[in-house]
Amino acid sequence: MQVYLDNNATTKVDEEVLKEIQPYFSENYFNPSSLYAHEVSKKIEEVRKQVAQLINAHPSEIIFTSGGTEAINLAIKGVIEKDEHIITTKVEHSATLNTCKNFDTTYLNVNKNGDLDLKQLEDSIKINTKLVSVMWANNETGVIFPIDEVIKIVKNINPEILVFTDAVQAVGKIDIDVQKTHVDMLSLSGHKIHAPKGIGALYVRNGIKLKPLISGGHQERGLRGGTENVTGIIALGKACEIANSNNSKIERLRNKLEQEILENCFNAKINGQNRINNTTNISFQYLESELILMELEQCGIYASSGSACLTGSLEPSHVLTAMELDFTQANGAIRFSLSKYTTEKEIDYTIEKISEIISKMIELCPYEDELKKLKE
Ligand code: PLP
């Protein structure tokens, strides 16, 4: 049996999405800028509407990019000047952290549950603060940040400060309405919502001036030069149209997985409280996540120990470290992330296998006394 539980890393492309893009490889393969390619350029504009609709934006506020990483780079570098200040969090995706490190940046703390320190946000706003960049949902733990509250705090102090949210893991999992939340910019990524890799978008509220990262042709109103990734864009549109389906089924299966693991494994603990529906990050204290993952893979179960972008790094996750987890907990953390394709049978199989693997590993673990104490 093969069980894919790493949907925060990437997702399977939906059959409906594949069907939608096929003609644009074989019949309608024209460059959308060519005069005769009316149908293709019209289709791109229809898709812009589909993407906008999912987050209740205006189509003119959507810029297609090569993915979440580029959208994040464009949001940050597109508005910030050298002497301006950014506020972000310690638990952002590396796309945000590595972009912000070249600027004067304050990194907000989270508590043991993964919740953001809103008081620190208020205290960190300076006269030259230009941008607040706070993710909507965390890719490792699934913890949801209170974007509405963040915006309220920031705009009360200075309405000129822009608020950007990396919503790559939130889109398709929670309802997003940019008119209600008044967020200024928002990034999303196709491959997290059953479209292919290499396509994403940035929402930018009308009226906000942005500097392009990629200069070139007139595409995307001069904000992103280069011939459009037509099939990627069309795939993203379809994926947005069918997003948000099966969310209650996914949540039920995630909760079942979580509860049964907690019952069967005495050293298991869930990391993060207020979370998106598909993610569970579980620490198996005193065990090594890489070894657990190898055992799971032997059983055909694919999960991860955190962000796919950080695989190979020997450091414990920066997200779990920011949550002040003990090293013996952070080092044994596994992320399971489900999708609409996850079945009950797969979850039952995973519960059975992980319980066996953890009991076996506990027996061989050198932290005998510590584990005994945990059991008591
Ligand atoms: N932001 C978050 C929260 C993510 O989980 C990811 C991908 O893992 C990204 C940004 C980057 O998106 P992409 O892979 O489309 O560049």
Q: Residues 145, 332, 169, CA angle at the centre, nearest 5°? A: 30
The pLDDT of residue 310: 47
Does 32 contact ligand 1 (Cβ within 6 A)? Answer: no
Distance 191 CA to ligand 1 centre (A): 9
Confidence band for 333, pLDDT divided at 50, 70 and 90:
very high
Does 190 contact ligand 1 (Cβ within 6 A)? Answer: no
Q: Verify whether residue 309 is a known catalytic residue.
A: yes
Does 142 contact ligand 1 (Cβ within 6 A)? Answer: no
Distance 371 CA to ligand 1 centre (A): 36
The pLDDT of residue 330: 95
Average pLDDT over residues 163-176: 97
CA-nearest residue, atom 14 of ligand 1: 68
- From the alpha carbon of 200, which atom of ligand 1 is closest? 15
For 186-203, the pLDDT digits (tens) are 999 999 999 999 999 999
What SS3 string covers the chain? CCEECECCCCCCCCHHHHHHHCHHHHCCCCCCCCCCCHHHHHHHHHHHHHHHHHHCCCHHHEEEECCHHHHHHHHHHCCCCCCCEEEEECCCCHHHHHHHCCCEEEEECECCCCCECHHHHHHHCCCCEEEEECCCECCCCCEECCHHHHHHHHHHHCCCCEEEEECCCCECCECCCHHHHCCCEEEEEHHHCCCCCCCEEEEECCCCCCCCCCCCCCHHHHCCCCCCCHHHHHHHHHHHHCCCCCHHHHHHHHHHHHHHHHHHCCCEEECCCCECCCEEEEEECCCCHHHHHHHHHHCCEECECCCHHHCCCCCCCHHHHHCCCCHHHHCCEEEEECCCCCCHHHHHHHHHHHHHHHHHHHHHCCCHHHHHHHHC
For 63-103, the pLDDT digits (tens) are 999 999 999 999 999 999 999 999 999 999 999 999 999 99
Distance 199 CA to ligand 1 centre (A): 11
- pLDDT at 312 > cutoff 80: no
The pLDDT of residue 245: 86
Distance 48 CA to ligand 1 centre (A): 20
Closest to 54 measured CA to CA, from 168, 182, 163, 178 = 178
CA-nearest residue, atom 13 of ligand 1: 68
State how beta strands 268-270 and 279-284 pair: antiparallel
For 199-233, the pLDDT digits (tens) are 999 999 999 999 999 999 999 999 999 999 999 99
C-alpha 290/C-alpha 292 separation (Å) is: 6
For 100-124, the pLDDT digits (tens) are 999 999 999 999 999 999 999 999 9
Distance 84 CA to ligand 1 centre (A): 25
Does 105 contact ligand 1 (Cβ within 6 A)? Answer: no
State how beta strands 200-204 and 301-302 pair: unpaired
C-alpha 112/C-alpha 51 separation (Å) is: 35
Does 99 contact ligand 1 (Cβ within 6 A)? Answer: no
Query: Ligand 1: which of 74, 135, 165, 189 to mutate, judged by most atoms within 8 Å of the beta carbon?
Result: 189
pTM for this entry: 0.96
CA-nearest residue, atom 9 of ligand 1: 68
Distance 307 CA to ligand 1 centre (A): 9
- For the chain, the average pLDDT equals 96
Does 93 contact ligand 1 (Cβ within 6 A)? Answer: yes
Query: Ligand 1: which of 10, 66, 139, 309 to mutate, judged by most atoms within 8 Å of the beta carbon?
Result: 139
Contact by Cβ (8 Å): 79, 100: no
- From the alpha carbon of 189, which atom of ligand 1 is closest? 15
Does 168 contact ligand 1 (Cβ within 6 A)? Answer: yes
